[in-house]
């Protein structure tokens, strides 16, 4: 009888450990997805250029081009062509 009690206690502890492990892994996966979303958002942001005279013309043109691309006005191919044209000048 004591043997069954010990087996039950071990089984209970084992299930508890598995539950805690799965819970923490799931939480870390969600945190990783959230960080990926935050990092991608930061990469897509651009500088606000509302008539700021301190921003060089090149930067201003690139920001305007990025804005058009982000809004879907131009596609990726057009974006890359225009960016290369701006950078070559």
The mean-pLDDT minimum among 35-49, 51-65, 75-89 falls in 35-49
Query: pTM here?
Result: 0.38
- Which one is predicted more confidently, 87 or 56? 87
Q: What is the dihedral of CA 88, 67, 71, 80, to 10 degrees?
A: 10
pLDDT of residue 13: 94
Kind and range of the H or E element at 81? helix 76-88
Domain ranges across the chain: 1-44, 46-89
Q: pLDDT digits over 15-54, tens only?
A: 999 999 888 877 777 776 766 666 665 555 555 555 555 4
Residue 59 has pLDDT above 50, yes or no: yes
């Amino acid at each position: 009888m004591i043997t069954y009690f010990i087996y039950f206690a071990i089984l209970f502890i084992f299930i508890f450990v598995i539950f805690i492990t799965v819970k923490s892994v799931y939480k870390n996966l969600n945190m990783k997805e959230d960080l990926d979303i935050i990092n991608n958002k930061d990469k897509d942001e651009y500088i606000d250029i509302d008539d700021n005279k301190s921003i060089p013309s090149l930067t201003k043109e690139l920001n305007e081009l990025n804005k058009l691309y982000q809004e879907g006005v131009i596609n990726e191919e057009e974006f890359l062509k225009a960016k290369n044209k701006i950078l070559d000048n």
